[in-house]
């Protein structure tokens, strides 16, 4: 399973990259707002220079011509850029055209299996079903991941399932069990994946015992 980080924060991206965990990055306009700054294109290029993998950058136009123009600009920024396009009719039309041109796309804001089927037929590189936002409205986000994985397997679609809107480690576990190709994970959740109280307790005991061992060894060496 590939791990992407769901952030535009360069410090978080650098940290995750240093751990050797990153296969890519997803951004969106809300994450850009959170990261701050005024140079959107420069920021995307900086992310590409940190990470050795796909970096999703989102268009903000909602009409076909506007989406295509933004997509061409974004794709030209760096070879790692994947153009993120919303799952609306004009977006699907643009994904079809971009796919024919060899420009990779991440079809975002997916909330149903029919939307995912349409995105795959249009040739999207990734489909981003939003797990957490579905859970928020008492609908199983994970059931959607399972349905999409099954539908894509039934027909051999190449579109990769990118579990998005991940809120906690269980979302990552369940996405992996369902066979999602990628999980895009916020930095805080990425760190939680490594945490276990028994690991902390076990390490504390090992270090305490090691200190006692060294003390005993020093005493015995001093005595001989
Ligand atoms: C990623 O591609 C999405 O934009 C992101 O995961 C949305 O997450 P949120 O629902 O926490 O905003």
Q: Is 121 noted as a catalytic residue in this protein?
A: no
Using one digit for the tens of pLDDT, what is the confidence trace for 65-85? 999 999 999 999 999 999 999
- Nearest ligand 1 atom to alpha carbon 106: 2
Whether ligand 1 lies within 6 angstroms of the CB of 105 is answered as: no
Region 165-191 average pLDDT: 98
Using one digit for the tens of pLDDT, what is the confidence trace for 24-73? 999 999 999 999 999 999 999 999 999 999 999 999 999 999 999 999 99
Whether ligand 1 lies within 6 angstroms of the CB of 165 is answered as: yes
DSSP string, the chain: -EEEEE---HHHHHHHHHTT--SEEE--HHHHHHH--S-HHHHHHHHHHH-SSEEEEE----SHHHHHHHHHHHHHH-TTEEEEEESSHHHHHHHHHHHHTT--EEEEEE-SHHHHHHHHHHT-SEEEEBHHHHHHTTS-HHHHHHHHHHHHHHHT--PEEEEBS--SHHHHHHHHHHT-SEEEE-HHHHHHTT--HHHHHHHHHHHHHHHHHHHHHHHHHHH-
pTM as predicted: 0.95
pLDDT, averaged across the chain: 97
Whether ligand 1 lies within 6 angstroms of the CB of 164 is answered as: yes
Question: Quick one: pLDDT at residue 152?
Answer: 98
Question: Quick one: pLDDT at residue 163?
Answer: 98
- In the reported structure, the alpha carbon of residue 133 is separated from the centroid of ligand 1 by a whole-number distance in angstroms of 8
Question: Quick one: pLDDT at residue 107?
Answer: 98
């Amino acid at each position: 399973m590939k791990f992407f980080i769901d952030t535009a924060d360069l410090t978080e991206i650098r940290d995750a990259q240093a751990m050797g965990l990153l296969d890519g990055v997803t951004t969106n306009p809300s994450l850009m707002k959170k990261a701050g700054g005024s140079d959107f294109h420069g920021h995307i290029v900086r992310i590409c220079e940190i990470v050795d993998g796909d970096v999703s950058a989102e268009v903000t136009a909602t009409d076909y011509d506007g989406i295509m123009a933004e997509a061409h600009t974004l794709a030209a920024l760096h070879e790692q850029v994947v153009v993120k396009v919303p799952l609306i009719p004009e977006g699907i039309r643009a994904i079809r055209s971009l796919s024919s041109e060899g420009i990779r796309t991440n079809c975002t804001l997916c909330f149903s299996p029919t939307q995912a089927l349409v995105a795959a037929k249009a040739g999207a590189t990734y489909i981003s079903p939003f797990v957490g936002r579905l859970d928020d409205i008492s609908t199983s986000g994970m059931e959607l991941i399972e349905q999409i994985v099954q539908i894509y397997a039934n027909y051999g679609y190449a579109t990769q399932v990118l579990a998005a809107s991940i809120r906690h480690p269980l979302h990552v576990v369940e996405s992996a069990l369902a066979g999602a190709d990628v999980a895009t994970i916020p930095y805080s959740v990425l760190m939680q994946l490594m945490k276990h109280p028994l690991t902390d307790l076990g390490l504390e005991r090992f270090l305490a015992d090691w200190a006692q061992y060294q003390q005993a060894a020093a005493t015995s060496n001093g005595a001989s």
